[in-house]
Amino acid sequence: MKELKLYRPNVGIMLLNKKAEVFVAHRTDSRKQAWQMPQGGIDKGEDEYHAALRELYEETNISSVTLIAESKNWYSYDFPPGIHFFSPKKKEFVGQMQKWFLFQFTGNETEIDLNRPDPEFNQWKWIDVEKVVELIVDFKKEVYRHVVDEFLPFIDAIRK
């Protein structure tokens, strides 16, 4: 019998500024080009929307947001060799299964603070949505393509 692959339940956040640019941040655990949008695990008993708000705040200090859209699908990716993530029950996940949210940032940029407990990021910037996929590490590119494609009509409506 084939072993079932375990994917960690996760949320991803695409955050837009007033110019419809996308927030990306550089991971602290990588010396290479390792930009990504905020993301993180869903706690037991937590719904996806509240997990997205919590993760965004924990990673960036951002809480001034308005929901624009939620992905229709869950998207998954496998971790590359050498990257491991274990559950509290010591089960090893092969990757992550993500529900994505598109938020409008409604605050002031002074709200953004990456100097958090156990910081995940050391830099951030706003970029055009068309450049998001090219900045992302290879093993997440396919998920990011899907997320960009799904959210692009909402972003285009804001740009008009």
Name the residue range of residue 136's domain.
7-159
- Look at residue 139 and tell me if it is in a domain: yes
CATH of the domain at 17: 3.90.79.10
Task: Give residues with Cβ within 8 angstroms of 71, minimum separation 6.
Answer: 99, 100, 101, 147, 150, 151
Which amino acid is present at 101? Answer: F
CA–CA dist 93, 10 (Å, integer): 12
- Look at residue 17 and tell me if it is in a domain: yes
- Look at residue 90 and tell me if it is in a domain: yes
What confidence tens digit (pLDDT) does each residue in 89-101 have?
556 788 999 999 9
86-100 in b/e form (b: 16+ CB < 10 A) is: eeeeeeebbbbbbbb
- Look at residue 2 and tell me if it is in a domain: no
**Residue 1 — pLDDT band, cuts 50, 70, 90?**
very low
Residue 117 CB-density burial (10 A; 0-12 exposed, 13-18 middle, 19+ buried): exposed
- Look at residue 13 and tell me if it is in a domain: yes
Label residue 42 left, alpha or beta by phi (over 0 means left) and psi (-120 to 50 means alpha): beta
The pTM score is 0.91
Residue 8 · residue 96 · CB < 8 Å: yes
Q: What is the pLDDT of residue 92?
A: 78
What confidence tens digit (pLDDT) does each residue in 10-69 have?
999 999 999 999 999 999 887 677 899 999 999 999 999 999 999 999 999 999 999 999
Q: What is the count of structural domains for the chain?
A: 1
What confidence tens digit (pLDDT) does each residue in 127-138 have?
999 999 999 988
Calculate the alpha carbon distances from 16 to 48, 82, 83, 122 in Å: 19, 32, 29, 19
Q: What is the pLDDT of residue 47?
A: 97
